[in-house]
Structure 1
Amino acid sequence: MASADLRDELTCPICTDIYTDPVTLTCGHNYCQDCITRTWDNQEEGDYSCPECRKKYRVRIPCTYCIASLCEEHLKIHSKSAEHVLTEPTTSPENRKCSVHKKVLEYYCCEDTACICVSCSLAGEHRGHQVETLNEASEKKKEKLRNIRQKLTSQREEAEKSIQNLEELRRQVQGKAAGVTERVTALIRDIRKQLEALEKQVLSEISRQEEQVSLRVEDLIRQLEIKKEELSRKMGDIEELCDMTDPVTVLQGRESDRDDYCDTEEDTERREIKVHDALDLDAGLISVTLHSGLRRPETPERFQYYDQVLSSRSFSSGRHYWKVEGSESGWWRVGMTYPSIKRGGKQSGIGNNNKSWSLQKSYNKLYYMLHDSNKIQFPHFFSCCRLGIFLDYEAGRLSFYELCDPIRHLHTFTAAFTEPLHAGFWVYGDNCWVRI
């Protein structure tokens, strides 16, 4: 019984084995040094307690001689001994022992940069190396660290200054961005207003042109209806004549050939071309030919410098279309001109002034568009010499087409016509001709 009580007195409450390096806390409870150390290692710093009575201990302070962490009560005893040097608490007292000789670390090997004990310095692997006490080595390292800290402090100050500069730059950028944003917003707002105004203006112009064209179309429809009625009347007359059986009555009836009933606008325009100077028109008034020996009396309307001819009919409204064919040889021009064009000098040629527009075919079969002496040359050869000319007076458009297969648009002049327009023809070279 006594033996069992003694065993209980020598048993560690933590590991339940016989004490190994027993220690006694101020509360009177005993533990193995390793057991209580591991227990307190698992507790929060400054909140240590006895596993049995739960008495609180604020801190453990290690003794470099005992290699033990102490509470306040034990500090009083250790402070009285010069051999017991107290240091700040460490994670583990074993870190202050030499792993080879199990002695307290007292020196620092400068060559191997390692903490060593006396035995390592005198007889161990660090024998003969330059060594210093831990305090000396520590102070030297602290000095180096202070120098490093000073450099780091300077770098930090530079970083702070850079941060301040960048923050100032950011403020400036934000200010500029706000100003640009405001200006762009105002600009877009103004553009939007202008676009809205332009939209209204364009839509209004479309409506106006639609109304204008509609009125013109209605007028044309009325004219065509009248023409249709007239044609129906003529057809009725013809049918009456055809149904008659009396030859005398048929022969004495009104003529109804093409000259009476089928004269077209193009035929009328062909007949209204006047002959000028050395030009000769055929009997049908649809062909212009240059004859070097032909000379006509000079009149104010005749051209003196160029062999040109204009239509006597003018066009001051509406849309008109001609088909024109030119000779393979010589030079020729076709186009439109104001009647106020000069009759003499180089500026009198159609296309050589600001009062006429023309297409020119030259000897080398190159074609040009001419207006006010400005030339636009076509990069390709024409497959034929047949052209279509379309005039839209109100729209201010004069278009030229090559009548090949398929029809190819060549060029369109645009202008605000201020005078009536006449068709113009210019030829140069023997047997050069232009035919409508």
Structure 2
Amino acid sequence: MASSSSDIGVILDELTCPVCFDLYKEPTALPCGHSFCRVCIETFWENRKEDTGCVCPNCREVFPQKPKLEKNVIVANLVENMKLKKGKVGLGVEIGDAEHGNVNVKEGVKSRGRESYCELCNGEAAKRCVPCEILCCEKHLKPHQQKGHKLVDPEVKIEELRCTQHGKPIQFYCKDDESLMCLMCTGGQHQEHKVVAVEIAHVELKGVLAAMYPHVSQSMQSVASQLQQVQEEEEQTENSSRDAEDRLEEKRMLVCQFVNVSVDLMKSEINKRKMEKLSLLGKQRKKLEQQMENLRKGKSTMDKAFQELEAVCFLQGSKNMLKRLRTMSDFKSMKRTPLPVLHFSKEEKTLDGLITLNKKFMEKIQKGPEMVYLQHPEDLFLAKHPEKDYLHHPEHLFPVAHPEKFDLDQNNLRNHYGRTPSLDPNSAHRLIDISRSLRTATLTEFENQYPKHPDRFDFHTQVVSSESFSSSRHYWEVDVRSSCFCRIGICLNSMERKRRGRGCKLGRNPESWCLEKRDNEYSALHNDQCNDLFVPRDPERFGFFLDCEAGELTCFGDSRVLHVFRGNFMDPVKPAIGVWDDGDSVHFVRLVK
């Protein structure tokens, strides 16, 4: 009676090497009873390279000495008989193959490509069977599912699911090295490592991601909110700038109109006074010209009389001549009074004043290094001398006084620059417990089960905020009443967090600036330099005003300025907290604008 396809499938399962997943080649049995290909078991032992003896890949039984490998004649004969039985059917004839879930498969067909057609019926492929290395449609997929074969999407390459070193299917995950392995990889350097099945690692990693998901979602909401604020500020800035330009154009027209009208009026007045003086001068000129004409005639008469040689004729005309000459002599005593010179100094001074004002205006605008262009419209209200501003409205972005002239009253700072930072759990040392509000840090005796993260402080009980600042102005406060030994300040986002020693501690490196509270003593620290501070009474809060463009961090103890740090704060910096006494806690104060 011929064997059914299901019988052949059962026999094939028993004659398959658990290492290479092929029919046995020179099968050998270990003392524990499990069989393997001679080459597979020897390769497995060679890759382990330990002195703990030889291990069975199936049951993990350890043999202190390498077992003598002898050919399992019975299994070898069964393999040969199975090959003969399959050979009688023929390579090109469909047979029931248990290796493929008792699905009729053409012998010798292995799909290693990326085609999307079922290799049994040429229908649309739904999945790829990893052990069988074939594509299957929905109809021919069921036997593989019942068999428990691993199924992946048709686009996945088989090579991606195999060990790059041994070419065997990936079955395990090393937690210590965070690497994928096949059965042969479990020996060697991974022997003492924590190795689990890929399915277990898959579930565990999903759990870690699920725990991190709320924080990522919250961070996304926070970033989205900040992004919206930035976009609104950008739009407000564009509108304010456009409105300011429109108003300046209107003022330009008014100024030009004023100058044109003023110059026209002054020119009209100058022309009027010119015409009046020219009229008077014209009358004087005509009178003098008349006098000149009369004198010319008298001179001509005298010239003729001097030429008259006859005495009688000379005397006959002398009477009339002398009468006319006596009349002309009256001009000798006539004096001309000069008219006043026209002056336009008043008009010129008016124009000179406009020119001087314009020059000062331009010079003040062009003094870029000495001026601060406000990034927030409300900053105008914080200037000590608003009367010196060009415009006194918050919607105008015009230059005002240098930062040192800003009012450092904390109420104003809270209203206009108040921030409430949130602590970043990914940066917290494992002994620091973070509250659900992400605003309180408490030093505990027991380690929190935080996941590994490149931003985490590994050796110092410190934590930084999720927010980083690199521009504009910001003010926040930290409540230190519940702490006896702490450091509060800022640090560059690039500050080292993984090494031991003082270099990773707040205030002990060039990348951090902070205030220290140790019982009733206070100090300011930066780059391992400590400045003792005189504080008359213990403050309940530390306040920090960061002006990134001015490069200043002003530190307050309640309402008193304790210290001012100066540095380059255009690189991203984060508010930072360090706590060193068990049970102590500090928290960011919520500032509501």
Could you say which TM-score interval applies, normalised by the shorter chain? 0.3 to 0.5
Structure number with greater CO (CA < 8 Å, separation at least 6) is 1
Q: Give the TM-score of the pair, scaled to structure 1.
A: 0.44
Q: TM-score, normalised by structure 2?
A: 0.34
Structure number with bigger Rg: 1
